[in-house]
Amino acid sequence: MNNPPSLPSHLLQSAAVRDRFTRLKQREVILEVKHLGKQFTSAQGTVTALKDINFKTHRREFVCVIGPSGCGKSTLIRILAGLESYTSGEALLDGEPIVGACAQRGMVFQGYTLFPWLTVKKNVMFGLEMNDHSKTTAEREALQWLELVGLSKFADAYPHQLSGGMKQRVAIARALANQPRILLMDEPFGALDAQTRAKMQSHLLEIWKNIDITILFITHDLDEAIFLADRILVLKAHPGEVQELIEVPVPRPRNFMQITSPEFLATKARLEALIHPPKVEDDDEAQIRPHMIRMARVGDDVEDVE
Amino acid sequence: MNSTVIPIAPKAVVAKPGWTDSWFAVRKELTPRSRVALIVGSFLLPILIWCAFSYLPFVWHPMMRISDPGSVSYFAPDMLVDKDVFRDETKTAKQNGTALPQGSGANPIYLPAPHQVAKALYTAFTTAPERKDGQWLHESLWHSVQIIFWGFLASSVIGVPLGILCGTYNVLSRLTEPFIEFFRYLPAPAFGALAVAILGIYDGPKIAIIFIGTFFQQVLIVANTTRKLDIALLEAALTLGAKKIQLLFRVVIPGILPDLYRDQRILLGWAWTYLIVAELIGTSSGITWFITQQARYKNFENVYAAIIIIGIIGLVTDLLLAALGKWLFRWERSPNKA
């Protein structure tokens, strides 16, 4: 690790942050996952995708789930959305077991999943109409949500006319329009370019600040997790297990200047140590060893061209 | 690094793209102008070949058209004979010192020249049928179009919903598709006799053949199209609170509509290919009756005219449907745009 030695521990919290966490934990529990596990049988035998997952999220908390590929983070969020089954343990929303998908748990997918045949406005109205709101109510509310994500101008556009970032704004508005208890986000900004991504992160925090919503956010980007989350659930792979639940010591409100703050760097160092332990050698990626042959002319060096 | 750098002459910059680059660039869109040129060309090319065969005597012309029978007793003016026969008879006439037959190279009767067919195309619509109870060409055509319409409609009314259900629910797919898979290999005309026995000799069996020829393919194709709908859209709808029936009517059906429409266009073309066989069943009718009648009297230019009309009807219908589809499914991402 090449971190400066002066870096504080990620466990160190300022008084304000500590207070915040105390208050947060006093809030009601929205989502509770107890000993959750998923096994399935494949050609290679029984695979344990998730093993004994335990955690709670409180009302209006922002939790990020992070972990190496194959740690089952997508499986976890899909179980919570009700799109996949689990084989052991419990998953409770407001104390009620999760069975099947429903509007109480909104989801934003990485692939946008907007309905291409509906205009932006009608996409946002979709959930409301599914839940027996009248067309006029649905339309009025949809326009409000579009205003919130700044896309009022595009209400009558079709999804293929929008950029990736705009599509994801619509997807967020569409999920929020149902006023779900929890918003599940499965690497929602993974397909966006770096600039749009940063904008969307700030935008999401703004939305979260203004709306009574609890967010569970999956990402593989460490900076994104630290920037967004109150707490970060770190999973490890094979089998997918909770490795650590980190309380992010970076104070709120967040901004991009904090990326170089000691709390941020300390948290990142901890995450890196957890996710990329120094000795990873067994995955396929590590097996690839390029053999560099020099194919440029002698003396024609890029690194010291005048 | 200073003096050790060896200067190399810059490689010649690739000059203006040659014609092979602009016409034979791999999977590159052509300019609108060359596109139009090629469309015209695709029709012009076969017509030019046909013209060459018809108007250039040295290309083929295996027959002789007699203009003067001379001393050959069985020759008659305007008769077509093989070149060999003509040569033999000429030789014999020469040896006997009698009048020589005269004639010019011609194609067999089954290959009329373009201008003859063009004329036939026109006269077919302007000449009254020879028999009083006969049909005008446009009446025959209209009858054929109706057969296609009813056959295709009957097939679609059952086939499209069944296909969508099969593509949506695996239970139905497993229950019906293996049998349909078996049935679609049975040639539709094989059911001709059966259809006549059940439905009589008029339009019933003809519609039935179009139905059998279309239906089984239709179910499988529509089911497949339905299965290709991105499952993420269904999942998204579920997390938005959609229930089963809503999923079908609000997501599956609107989601596959453009592809379904394209399938239907292809299947309609398919239905047309069954037309001739269908119309031969029972009492011959429609355009097929016209074609077989004309062929019997060796009016092959009329046969070609009828075939060309079928082609034109098919092409024009498809173009109209394509344009309609473009308008109906404006929300679709155009393939050129990322």
Q: Is residue A168 part of a domain?
A: no
Q: pLDDT tens digit string along A177-209?
A: 999 999 999 999 998 999 999 999 999 999 999
All residues of chain B having their beta carbon less than 8 Å from the beta carbon of residue A174 are 240
If pLDDT is split at 50, 70 and 90, which confidence band does B335 have? very low
Q: How many domains does chain A have?
A: 1
Residue from A80, A84, A115 whose CB has the most chain B CBs within 10 Å, to mutate: A115
* Secondary structure of residue A70 in the 3-state scheme: coil
Q: Is residue A90 part of a domain?
A: yes
Asked if A108 and A189 count as a contact pair (C-beta separation under 8 A), the reply is no
**Percentage of residues in chain A having pLDDT higher than 70:** 94
Residue B309 has pLDDT above 60, yes or no: yes
- Give me the residue from B2, B4, B332 closest to A116, CB to CB: B332
Query: Which element (helix H / strand E) includes A241?
Result: strand A241-247
If pLDDT is split at 50, 70 and 90, which confidence band does B295 have? confident
CB contact under 8 A, B2 and A306: yes
Residue A234 has pLDDT above 60, yes or no: yes
Does B330 lie at the interface with A, CB-CB under 8 angstroms?
yes
Q: pLDDT tens digit string along B160-197?
A: 999 999 999 999 999 999 999 999 999 888 898 899 99
CB contact under 8 A, A117 and B257: yes
If pLDDT is split at 50, 70 and 90, which confidence band does A5 have? low
CA distance A171 to chain B (A): 9
If DSSP states are collapsed to H, E and C, what string results for chain B?
CCCCCCCCCCCCCCCCCCHHHHHCCCCCCCCHHHHHHHHHHHHHHHHHHHHHHHHCCCCCCCEEEEEECCCCCCCCCCCEEEHHHHHHHHHHHHHHCCCCCEEEEECCCCCCCHHHHHHHHHHHHHCCCCCCCCCCHHHHHHHHHHHHHHHHHHHHHHHHHHHHHHHHCHHHHHHHHHHHHHHCCCCHHHHHHHHHHHHCCCHHHHHHHHHHHHHHHHHHHHHHHHHCCCHHHHHHHHHCCCCHHHHHHHHHHHHHHHHHHHHHHHHHHHHHHCHHHHHHCCCCCHHHHHHHHHHHCCCHHHHHHHHHHHHHHHHHHHHHHHHHHHHHCCCCCCCCCC
CA distance A88 to chain B (A): 22
CB contact under 8 A, A158 and B330: yes
Does B239 lie at the interface with A, CB-CB under 8 angstroms?
yes
Instruction: Classify residue A292 by its DSSP letter.
Output: -
CA distance B266 to chain A (A): 22
Residue from B240, B332, B334 whose CB has the most chain A CBs within 10 Å, to mutate: B240
Residue from B239, B250, B330 whose CB has the most chain A CBs within 10 Å, to mutate: B239
Across the range B50-79, mean pLDDT stands at: 89
CA distance A108 to chain B (A): 8
All residues of chain B having their beta carbon less than 8 Å from the beta carbon of residue A306 are 1-2
The tokens of A38 are what? Answer: 């998923």
Across the range B212-239, mean pLDDT stands at: 95
CA distance A7 to chain B (A): 42
Residue B296 has pLDDT above 60, yes or no: yes
CB contact under 8 A, B237 and A130: yes
If pLDDT is split at 50, 70 and 90, which confidence band does B71 have? confident
Residue B332: predicted pLDDT: 83
Q: Is residue A185 part of a domain?
A: yes
If pLDDT is split at 50, 70 and 90, which confidence band does B133 have? low
Q: pLDDT tens digit string along A65-107?
A: 998 887 888 899 999 999 999 999 999 999 899 988 888 999 9
CA distance B14 to chain A (A): 23
Which residue of chain A has the CA closest to B4?
A299
Does B83 lie at the interface with A, CB-CB under 8 angstroms?
no
Q: Is residue A100 part of a domain?
A: yes
Q: pLDDT tens digit string along A204-231?
A: 999 999 999 999 999 989 999 999 999 9
The parent domain of residue A231 ranges over 15-104+180-287
Chains A–B, number of C-beta pairs less than 8 Å apart: 88
Query: Which element (helix H / strand E) includes A300?
Result: none
Across the range A241-256, mean pLDDT stands at: 90
- Give me the residue from A115, A130, A300 closest to B233, CB to CB: A115
Does B234 lie at the interface with A, CB-CB under 8 angstroms?
no
Residue A281 has pLDDT above 90, yes or no: no
CATH number for the domain spanning A64: value is: 3.40.50.300
Q: Which residue has the higher pLDDT, B241 or B135?
A: B241
CA distance A21 to chain B (A): 30
- Give me the residue from A81, A297, A300 closest to B239, CB to CB: A81
**Strand partners for A88:** A37
Interface of B with A in 258-297 (CB under 8 A): none
Across the range A133-157, mean pLDDT stands at: 93
If pLDDT is split at 50, 70 and 90, which confidence band does B8 have? low
Residue A29 has pLDDT above 60, yes or no: yes
Residue B240 has pLDDT above 70, yes or no: yes
Calculate the average pLDDT of chain A.
89
Q: pLDDT tens digit string along B82-99?
A: 989 999 999 999 999 888
- Give me the residue from A107, A301, A305 closest to B239, CB to CB: A107
All residues of chain A having their beta carbon less than 8 Å from the beta carbon of residue B332 are 116, 160
Residue B9: predicted pLDDT: 56
**Percentage of residues in chain B having pLDDT higher than 70:** 92
Which residue of chain B has the CA closest to A109?
B236
Residue A286 has pLDDT above 90, yes or no: no
CB contact under 8 A, A107 and B235: yes
Residue B337 has pLDDT above 50, yes or no: no
Residue A239: predicted pLDDT: 84
All residues of chain B having their beta carbon less than 8 Å from the beta carbon of residue A105 are 239
CATH of region B123-127+135-328, choose from 3.20.20.70, 1.10.150.20, 1.10.3710.10, 1.10.3720.10: 1.10.3720.10
Residue B123: predicted pLDDT: 87
Among candidates B168, B147, B165, which has minimal Cα distance to B214? B147
Kindly give, in sequence order, each residue whose CB lies less than 8 Å from that of residue B296, ignoring residues fewer than 6 positions away: none
Which residue of chain A has the CA closest to B258?
A117
